[in-house]
Amino acid sequence: MKYKRMASLLILAAFLLTGCGFSSERKLISPDEITPAESYKFEKFTFNGITEQPFSALLEAENGQHSGGVSVLTTKSGYSGEGYVDVSDNAGFKLTVDIPSDQFYKITVRHCAGDHKENELLFNGKKVFDIYSEAGDWQETEADGIFLEKGLNTVTLGSGWSWFSIDYIEIENGESVSDSVYSGMSETLSNEYANKKTQNIYQYLRAIYGKRTLAGQCTDYGNNTETDALYQGLGKYPAIRAFDFIFDSPSYPYQNDRPAKDYDLAIEWSKDGGLVVYDWHWHAPCGGADFYTEKTSFRITNAVTEKDIAHMNLDDIKALYDGGEISEEAYKLVSDIDVISGYLQKLEDNNVTVLWRPLHEAAGGWFWWGASGPEDYKWLWRLMYERMTDYHELDNLIWVWNAQDAEWYPGDDYCDIAAIDIYGAAHDYGVSASTLADMNGWSDGDKMVTMSECATMPDPDLIVRDNAYWLWFAVWNWDYIVKDGTTELSGAYTDLDMMKKVYDSEVIITRDELPKF
């Protein structure tokens, strides 16, 4: 039996012996009550317009066109060719390559850096993937399924965090995302007690995965600006709307001015047939009420304890803190989780299933929940999961993990969907196929993958061509979609013609096309 389930049962037994058990109404849903994924029939769209030609090219970085902060060096040992380049200014690096055919390629970049760096690799001004460098010797970043067009292609670096070295860029024949990426997904949710609606939604997500993509939209707090703009401009609502508990943390200093305004909007959205995502920009419980690392001294390291505080009542946790057995950080973490659990319980009471996406973008380090490294982060994720699932018995949650890096994965027992945030350039409608394929290996290969935040809507034609069926995409709010907070679509990132193409596409599911769960 899995450890967390064993722990839960032991705690349940102890509570029953003391007369203080969990809810006696919590029951497993019979499989006969759930609409299985197999009952939904979706035809898969495929692309067959490629005539492959064999190709291989090794582009030595030192042979490119350089200016500004680019230097050709031979100091580091182990390089290929006649040297390598150090890059401190992205604009000063350029290579060219003559591509023989419109087809898929595998691209490998050999690079190194003195510490963690992130840089964008561009072909003809469009990002194909991010180069992640860690401190150490030469390393390779490889991406398959990159579609390049026939003719002269220009290779440059986009925005990023420079100061790294490039040895070479290799291009060879590749393949599009394999259909195997979409097979073998977990048939059930991590919480075996998930309610009927939540399980039905999960089965529907399984049914569309690899065949369709849900349209999603992040929205401003407490209003319908973005969704109203989409409906007024396109005649349709997104299937998914992302809300946020950003101003609902107990430490938020102006909470009384904005108390859980998204709560009523989420209930209304769900009643109207939409799917609900909830994020939590968590203002630190103490040490400075902010979610940015640089603005608070709160660190998970100071909270980590071997005590099973996930399953204790808050008074007992407070007693541990008063007795010096746990830190203030540990006590207040649980206290804050309990407050948000109360909101989530109210949503469950109103029949709202939540695609729950807490502790997002942790690996970037800019949020305090990522400032202490992956092990502390995983401890907090599991604490929150067990507190909400086992102690508070929230059975309306589908757990969406979005730390941005495989090293931060908390384990298959603690999440249901893997997510990543991708911000490309304005009017770049690429679908990041190689990232989707790579993420298939971040878990044990059985978690569906979604693009939980993005700058632009993906082109549905490219979704089909690259076989990159993200479970959903969610465009960020404000100026990414509307003009200055109005309900007028802006076109600043996704032009209006592309928006219409996306929302009218058979590949994309909008709210009006969702079944009743």
Instruction: List the catalytic residues.
Output: 361, 453
- Residue 264's Cβ-count burial label (10 Å; 0-12, 13-18, 19+) is exposed
Q: Decide: helix, strand or coil at residue 428.
A: coil
Dig out the tokens for 77 from the structure: 């040992």
Dig out the tokens for 314 from the structure: 């808050």
Length of the chain in terms of residues written: 517
Strand 151-161 and strand 164-173: the pairing is unpaired
DSSP string, 229-280: HHHHHHS--BSEEEEE-TT-STT-TTGGGS-SHHHHHHHHHHHTT-EEEEE-
In which order are the strands placed within the sheet that holds 117-123?
Answer: 65-66, 93-99, 151-161, 117-123, 126-133
- d(C-alpha 223, C-alpha 264), whole Å: 10
| Single-letter residue type at 303 | A
Residues near 211 by beta carbon (within 8 Å), at least 6 away in sequence? 42, 43, 44, 45, 182, 469
Dig out the tokens for 510 from the structure: 């909008």
- d(C-alpha 174, C-alpha 55), whole Å: 10
Scanning the structure block, which residue is given the tokens 């089909």? 464
Q: How many Å is the maximal CA-CA distance in the chain?
A: 76
Dig out the tokens for 420 from the structure: 């990543």
Phi, psi of 277 (to 5 degrees): -105, 140
Dig out the tokens for 500 from the structure: 């219409």
CA-atom Rg of the chain in angstroms: 24
Contact present, 49 and 36 (Cβ < 8 Å): no
- d(C-alpha 447, C-alpha 398), whole Å: 12
With CA atoms as reference, report the closest residue to 474 among 416, 402, 405. 402
Query: Distance from first CA to last CA of the chain, Å, rounded?
Result: 31
- d(C-alpha 394, C-alpha 349), whole Å: 10
Q: Decide: helix, strand or coil at residue 167.
A: strand
Scanning the structure block, which residue is given the tokens 């967390």? 4
In the chain, helix, strand, coil percent, each to 5? Answer: 30, 25, 45
| Single-letter residue type at 423 | Y
- d(C-alpha 256, C-alpha 81), whole Å: 64
